[in-house]
Chain A
Amino acid sequence: FGLLQAGAVPVFKPRAEEKITPEPKIKKLEPVLLPGEIVVNEVNFVRKCIATDTSQYDLWGKLVCTNFKTSFITDDPMPLQKFHYKNLLLGEHDVPLTCIEQIVTVNDTKRKQKVLGPNQKLKFNPTELIIYCKDFRIVRFRFDEAGPESAKKVCLAIAHYSQPTDLQLLFAFEYVGKMYHNPAKKVNGIDPGGGGGSSGSGQQTPLFEAYSDWDREIKRTGASEWRVCSVNEGYMISTCLPEYFVVPSSLADQDLKLYSYSFIGRRMPVWCWNHPNGSALVRMANIKDVLQQRKIDQRICNAITRSHPQRSDVYKSDLDKCLPNIQEIQAAFIKLKQLCVNEPFEETEEKWLSSLENTHWLEYIRSFLKHSVEVVYMLECKRVSVVLQEEEGRDLSCLVASLVQVMLDPYFRTIVGFQSLLQKEWVMAGYQFLDRCNHLKRSDKESPLFLMFLDSVWQLLEQYPAAFEFSETYLTLLYDSTRISLFGTFLFNSPHQRVKESTEFAISKNIQLGDEKGLKFPSVWDWSLQFTTRDRMLFHNPLYIGKSAPCVQNGAVKSFKRSKKNYSSTLRGIPPALKNGIISEQEFLPRRNSLILKLKPDSLQQAASHNNSLEQYFRAWFSKPVDLHGVILPQFSGTHVKLWKLCYFRWVPEAQINNGGFITAFHKISLLVDEVDMLNRSLRQCKSNLSLQANCSDLDQSRMYFRASGLNDISGTSDFLSSSFPFSPIGNLCRRSILGTPLSKFLSGAKIWLSTETLANED
């Protein structure tokens, strides 16, 4: 499974996932509803457009608007589609309401179009509905044969429900309310506690809601001079900090309370992470009290110094001064989206690279990577504690703090570790998901900082493909999960907001909360809500050689650590016969007094003169073989930072490489890893047989999505692979032909993209 079967209506079956039985063909087209989900409006005889140049492939069905999603229900199979992953919460044609960016209605005959806001009137009967999604999809429906009034009602309903004005109107509240009302709380297998089962490993993701999670993190990193403090219990001090956080041991609760008044949002310095050498990473908001500024600053710094084993100084990094701000990042994102998705594909061809450069997206990624490397250098090489300072301390700090930790601590490059990092530095640290993701009616606070973080991590993954337990599919699906308003993880501006809003909601709905602080929402980390065990294997990176990898456990097998010899042998570009001294390995420490005839100063030398020792650290690091279980530093030059094509191009049919893409190499490695796993299991089994201990317990599931054995019906052929895998652009974006024939790319002539551009705007 994983391949969508013709005519099968996706069914919500979280725990029953393992034994999917063929669904009897339903004559009546009925939407599949979640607990608490209700149908608001529906219209029959709707055509979903698949291609723009022909209606041959269009699907007929019913369009339904619920309080959670728009759902298109059809008996027709998707044409030409080879593969599409399946989300258990959503049908193939469904769009969660929180994923909708813009709704455009069109009337062909009256030549009118209108962008629908909430509570608006529509003076014409729409013949066409186009939904622009936040995840870059564009879906188009036609109502030629549908009842005009019902069509209109559905459009208005979608516009209304996708742009709620109040947080409590988001579906997650309805859903969780239903859960609490049901005495057997685990109906449908969802534990509202949402501890966050990880993908297969059985480990739980620490949520950092409790004292103990922080305490464990202190111990894990060996931060002996730091303590968990509970002054913010009940959010008595700050409503944008978590209830528990970590502070220097030398600061008493009384001092903290006093100092907190001077910080914006009362966000006093909180600890993020400790380097094994004792240096700490700390983040805080600006001090607003100008008179007290110096004094408080001094005291805070002294306390941080006292928590350092060498009593080193504190290095302060003012993020507002050296990084793009959230408005600039949002502007870059809009341009990027325009370029990658909204513009007709052929028209972006000319000057593509210049246009990409003009979005500034990659430039900003580079500046975040560069800045994070500088922080790594201070912690690792200068052995000083670093304080990340930012106006409110809850935007850029989230990105930089977590990027630094991904580079420094291999734990955060595992799936559970990465999720705990997101909990620690984003969810609990009060990153304003509600505003930044713009879950409610259009706000000017929208900014894709979280995406920019995922993109930065992708750059690291691209440069060190074997250093991460997860795949780029995992990162992409994680991004998509921010658009599903069912999970509490990415729904709120702060943990306090969850407690406050959900308590209000509980009271209004007569839900007994007991000892609980607010309602517990399902967690994104409970991936079984969205994907089958099998599909979750897509998260696993076959190149990752974790400590748990059986092949390393086996004592006799050589460790994967990259030897120096290995590395030099991978220096490609120069055939052995012509090996040329220019790139021999270790002689790159720059000689300051070098003779450069008439050359413009190299940008790297310029940088070196500014920050000589940072540059040296950087170069020295790159001259050594990489330890994938140690620090990894990204290259952040313009030639190294790339566009994350899977994320941005996956819905563009024209950009899909059939039978190609990195996935084809990934596929081959997966098969090999699966084989190695199998051999290891056989070996263990063989050994235990020899010692007459029948121990078959470790005949566990394969870690790989693609299997070498015959268990998997599709592993033998890679026909279904494409650069968009596991996504399929077919049917998601109806701009032009989706026909495989490349000829369609060269059909010159009229813009086939919707004629709406020439239509008059209503109102």
Chain B
Amino acid sequence: MEEAPLFPGESIKVIAKDVMYICPFMGAVSGTLTVTDYRLYIKSIERDPPFVLDVPLGVISRVEKIGAQSHGDNSFGIEIVCKDMRNLRLAYKQEEQSRLEIFENLVTRAFPVSKGLGLPNESWKISRINSTFELCDTYPAILVVPTSVKDDDLSKVAAFRTKGRVPVLSWIHPESQATITRCSQPLIGPNDKHCKEDEKYLQTIMDANAQSHKLIIFDARQNSVADANKVKGGGYENESSYPNVELFFLEIHNIHVMRESLRKLKEIVYPTIDEARWLSNIDSTHWLDYIRMLLAGAVRIADKIESGKTSVVVHCSDGWDRTAQLTSLAMLMLDSYYRTIKGFETLIEKEWISFGHRFAMRVGHGDDDHAGADRSPIFLQFIDCVWQMTRQFPAAFEFNELFLVTILDHLYSCLFGTFLFNCEQERVKEEISTKTVSLWSYVNSQLDEFTNPFYVNYEHHVLYPVASLNHLELWVNYYVRWNPRMRPQMPIHQNLKELLAIRAELQKKLEELQREAATRSISSSSDRGSSPSHSATPVHTSV
């Protein structure tokens, strides 16, 4: 009755009866706790309908024992801090042994020790120089670089860029040939080092676009931080040694600031909300401020490409956090393909997974160091920005909110191989593609669930979101979804689906009647009552 359903290959590790889950919203429920090698599962049949709590172990950030509380028999407990904006409290009345078992199981299971574009063209070529990950171990095996660049020079450029992350192509404008390229910071250092090959390399990128005699570099960091990096051997391109290059700082804060902001956000949304100070509390987390900075940065990049027809280079320090956020957001604005479900999957695969966003490190997959300094909600922030865009352009995206939430849930769940490990090299080594299933196979098998019925393919539209707090909202359906009061408002996509069903039904009826009329008119050999001409004009679906 209170057993957990299992996936194929999933096995039960421990079962404990009469465990009490203390829900902050509805009080305590007693039921059976099951821990498998994938999930923590509590079911209680004392409620009708039965109460179920089903949490993938990957969501767990930290497990703590709680000392004696005076709640009747339930004097022992644990608190489970989750990555998805909630904490779970469990209490037992059983003896120490069983509790220890649950605790140990949760800890060992949740944190296992180890686990497993019209190109090329005349200006850009597909290079296999990194096929053994020697040039750069955090880049994919296949890169797109300017045609004229020789492999020797590329190695020298790699030596001049942090972790060998040379400028490579992310996106190319189909008409103007203006490009977005991404890389890590140059190793200028305190003594203003030069690298002829790097300078030439950027010149080549600029030359590949005949429309402009400039190249814009967006350094995502704060100017002051970039300066500080110079002292430590990094830095940013000096405009005097890179002729025709303009460099702008986007003043975006680092991963630690973002982590802290999310921590504050959790404080104000879980488990209770201070109604009177709701808005100023959101302000105080700065979460939306940072969302705005990212969107504003991406708008600048997209605008340079679209209106300025100028190629853009984006980097931060390593080029795998802020850089990935900015390039992928700009691409989403520029190219309607990325606003489809398939396209968005491609975007994540390309800009995030293959270009080495440190998913394992940033999310802390299987890592019990919940306070790890490498953790940061960088990808979550990106998805939030995408959500903000879907709010501003409700008809421009093929996917819906559930799609975005599903991606985030499986970012933590570890049910799919998609977000495991830090870079392509690791994934190849761990044979991720054969040993795990991709999240996209799951998504693509039930596209209906994830499709936005309002979608209109704005094929040639560049979409500029208004990067202003006036239009940004806190994503309540995600961050506050555990609070039962936050029932989503009546979604209008339901109405649209109903209308579509009605239309189909009416069309069918009309056809039947017309057929009937046709037979009658033949039999009565009368040609009056010609069929109505306006049947089923399709709704315009492309612009």
B1-54 with Cβ < 8 A to chain A: 20, 22-28, 42-43, 47-54
Whether A665 lies near B490 (C-beta < 8 A) is no
- Residue B225 CB within 8 A of the other chain: no
Candidates A622, A637, A665, A689; contact of B275 at CB < 8 Å:
A637
User: A599 contacts which chain B residues (CB < 8 A)?
Assistant: 24, 271-272
- Fill in one digit per residue for A585-623: 1 if any B CB lies within 8 Å of its CB, else 0: 111101101111101101110000000000000000010
- Fill in one digit per residue for B468-508: 1 if any A CB lies within 8 Å of its CB, else 0: 11110010111011101111111111111011111101110
- Fill in one digit per residue for A636-661: 1 if any B CB lies within 8 Å of its CB, else 0: 01111000010001000011111111
User: A588 contacts which chain B residues (CB < 8 A)?
Assistant: 25-26, 484
Q: With A351-B283, A638-B273 as known contacts, state yes or no: A582 contacts B25, CB within 8 Å.
A: yes
Q: Name the residue on A nearest B535 (C-beta).
A: A682
Whether A596 lies near B22 (C-beta < 8 A) is yes
A696-726 with Cβ < 8 A to chain B: 708-709, 715-719, 723
What range describes how many residues of B lie at the interface?
35 or more
Q: With A354-B279, A566-B494, A657-B393 as known contacts, state yes or no: A669 contacts B499, CB within 8 Å.
A: yes
User: A686 contacts which chain B residues (CB < 8 A)?
Assistant: 510, 513-514, 517, 531-532
Whether A466 lies near B22 (C-beta < 8 A) is no
Whether A602 lies near B469 (C-beta < 8 A) is no
Whether A672 lies near B503 (C-beta < 8 A) is yes
Q: Smallest CB–CB gap between A275 and chain B, Å? A: 24
User: B415 contacts which chain A residues (CB < 8 A)?
Assistant: 577
Candidates B89, B278, B392; contact of A660 at CB < 8 Å:
B392
Q: Smallest CB–CB gap between B480 and chain A, Å? A: 7
User: A354 contacts which chain B residues (CB < 8 A)?
Assistant: 279-280, 283-284
- Residue A679 CB within 8 A of the other chain: yes
- Fill in one digit per residue for A568-585: 1 if any B CB lies within 8 Å of its CB, else 0: 011111111111111111
Q: Smallest CB–CB gap between A94 and chain B, Å? A: 28
- Residue A551 CB within 8 A of the other chain: yes
A622-640 with Cβ < 8 A to chain B: 622, 626, 635, 637-640
Whether A581 lies near B51 (C-beta < 8 A) is yes
Q: Name the residue on A nearest B486 (C-beta).
A: A639
Whether A353 lies near B52 (C-beta < 8 A) is no
Q: Could you say which of B125-133, B316-324, B359-367, B458-466 contacts chain A?
A: B458-466
Whether B405 lies near A573 (C-beta < 8 A) is yes
User: A685 contacts which chain B residues (CB < 8 A)?
Assistant: 532
Whether A718 lies near B283 (C-beta < 8 A) is no
A715 to B418, CA, bound (A): 41
Whether B393 lies near A664 (C-beta < 8 A) is yes
A604 to B485, CA, bound (A): 9
Q: Name the residue on B nearest A607 (C-beta).
A: B275
- Residue B117 CB within 8 A of the other chain: no
Q: Smallest CB–CB gap between A616 and chain B, Å? A: 14
Q: Name the residue on B nearest A692 (C-beta).
A: B529
Whether B464 lies near A581 (C-beta < 8 A) is no
Whether A591 lies near B27 (C-beta < 8 A) is yes
- Residue A364 CB within 8 A of the other chain: no
A657 to B392, CA, bound (A): 7
User: B498 contacts which chain A residues (CB < 8 A)?
Assistant: 560
Q: Smallest CB–CB gap between B285 and chain A, Å? A: 10
Give how many A residues have a beta carbon under 8 Å from the other chain's beta carbons.
110
Q: Could you say which of B101-109, B350-358, B395-403 contacts chain A?
A: B395-403
Q: With A463-B489, A582-B25, A588-B484 as known contacts, state yes or no: A718 contacts B543, CB within 8 Å.
A: yes
User: A569 contacts which chain B residues (CB < 8 A)?
Assistant: 494
Q: Smallest CB–CB gap between B408 and chain A, Å? A: 10
Whether B540 lies near A716 (C-beta < 8 A) is yes
Q: Smallest CB–CB gap between A577 and chain B, Å? A: 8
- Fill in one digit per residue for B216-242: 1 if any A CB lies within 8 Å of its CB, else 0: 000000000000000000000000000
Q: With A582-B53, A742-B303 as known contacts, state yes or no: A708 contacts B539, CB within 8 Å.
A: yes
User: B256 contacts which chain A residues (CB < 8 A)?
Assistant: none
Whether A352 lies near B283 (C-beta < 8 A) is yes
- Residue A446 CB within 8 A of the other chain: no
User: A543 contacts which chain B residues (CB < 8 A)?
Assistant: 492, 495
A659 to B461, CA, bound (A): 8
Whether B456 lies near A594 (C-beta < 8 A) is no
Whether B477 lies near A573 (C-beta < 8 A) is yes
Candidates A466, A658, A709; contact of B492 at CB < 8 Å:
A466
- Residue B64 CB within 8 A of the other chain: no
A281 to B392, CA, bound (A): 41
- Residue A166 CB within 8 A of the other chain: no
- Fill in one digit per residue for A341-356: 1 if any B CB lies within 8 Å of its CB, else 0: 0000100110111101
User: B263 contacts which chain A residues (CB < 8 A)?
Assistant: none
A324 to B394, CA, bound (A): 36
- Fill in one digit per residue for A441-471: 1 if any B CB lies within 8 Å of its CB, else 0: 0000000000000000000001111100000
Q: Name the residue on A nearest B51 (C-beta).
A: A581
User: A464 contacts which chain B residues (CB < 8 A)?
Assistant: 490
User: A664 contacts which chain B residues (CB < 8 A)?
Assistant: 393-396, 454, 456
Q: Smallest CB–CB gap between B272 and chain A, Å? A: 5
User: A638 contacts which chain B residues (CB < 8 A)?
Assistant: 273, 275-276, 278-279
A573 to B484, CA, bound (A): 12
Whether B506 lies near A676 (C-beta < 8 A) is yes
Q: Smallest CB–CB gap between B342 and chain A, Å? A: 19
B291-339 with Cβ < 8 A to chain A: 292, 296, 299-300, 303, 307
A576 to B50, CA, bound (A): 17
Number of A-B contacts (CB under 8 A): 315
Whether A654 lies near B503 (C-beta < 8 A) is no
Whether A603 lies near B275 (C-beta < 8 A) is yes
Q: Name the residue on A nearest B71 (C-beta).
A: A595
User: B474 contacts which chain A residues (CB < 8 A)?
Assistant: 639
- Residue B148 CB within 8 A of the other chain: no
Whether B537 lies near A708 (C-beta < 8 A) is yes
Whether B499 lies near A689 (C-beta < 8 A) is no
Q: Name the residue on A nearest B452 (C-beta).
A: A665
Q: Smallest CB–CB gap between A728 and chain B, Å? A: 16
A637 to B269, CA, bound (A): 13
Whether B24 lies near A353 (C-beta < 8 A) is no
Whether A602 lies near B454 (C-beta < 8 A) is no
B240-282 with Cβ < 8 A to chain A: 271-280, 282
User: B150 contacts which chain A residues (CB < 8 A)?
Assistant: none
- Residue A687 CB within 8 A of the other chain: yes
User: A669 contacts which chain B residues (CB < 8 A)?
Assistant: 454, 492, 495-496, 499
Q: Smallest CB–CB gap between A129 and chain B, Å? A: 28
Whether A594 lies near B454 (C-beta < 8 A) is no
Q: Which of B27, B296, B500, B516 has the most CB of A within 10 A?
A: B27
Q: Smallest CB–CB gap between B69 and chain A, Å? A: 6
Q: Smallest CB–CB gap between A351 and chain B, Å? A: 6
Whether A591 lies near B26 (C-beta < 8 A) is yes
Q: With A353-B279, A672-B503 as known contacts, state yes or no: A745 contacts B488, CB within 8 Å.
A: no
Candidates B43, B401, B409, B454; contact of A668 at CB < 8 Å:
B454
- Residue B467 CB within 8 A of the other chain: yes
A742 to B24, CA, bound (A): 45
Whether A556 lies near B509 (C-beta < 8 A) is yes
| Complex A-B: 18 CB contacts under 8 Å | A345-B468, A570-B488, A570-B494, A573-B402, A582-B53, A586-B49, A602-B271, A603-B273, A637-B278, A638-B273, A639-B480, A654-B466, A656-B466, A668-B456, A669-B499, A690-B516, A718-B458, A746-B296
13 more A-B residue pairs beyond the given contacts A596-B27, A675-B503, A682-B534, with a C-beta to C-beta distance below 8 A: A572-B402, A572-B405, A580-B55, A582-B25, A587-B26, A587-B47, A588-B25, A594-B28, A597-B77, A603-B272, A678-B537, A741-B307, A746-B300
Interface residues of B (CB under 8 A from A): 20, 22-28, 42-43, 47-56, 66, 69, 71, 74, 77, 89, 91, 271-280, 282-284, 288, 292, 296, 299-300, 303, 307, 392-396, 400-402, 405-406, 409, 413, 415, 442, 449, 454, 456, 458, 461, 463-471, 474, 476-478, 480-482, 484-496, 498-503, 505-507, 509-510, 513-514, 516-517, 520, 528-529, 531-532, 534-537, 539-540, 543
Which 10 interchain pairs have the tightest Cβ spacing? A594-B27, A638-B278, A581-B52, A352-B469, A595-B28, A664-B395, A679-B506, A353-B279, A689-B529, A357-B279
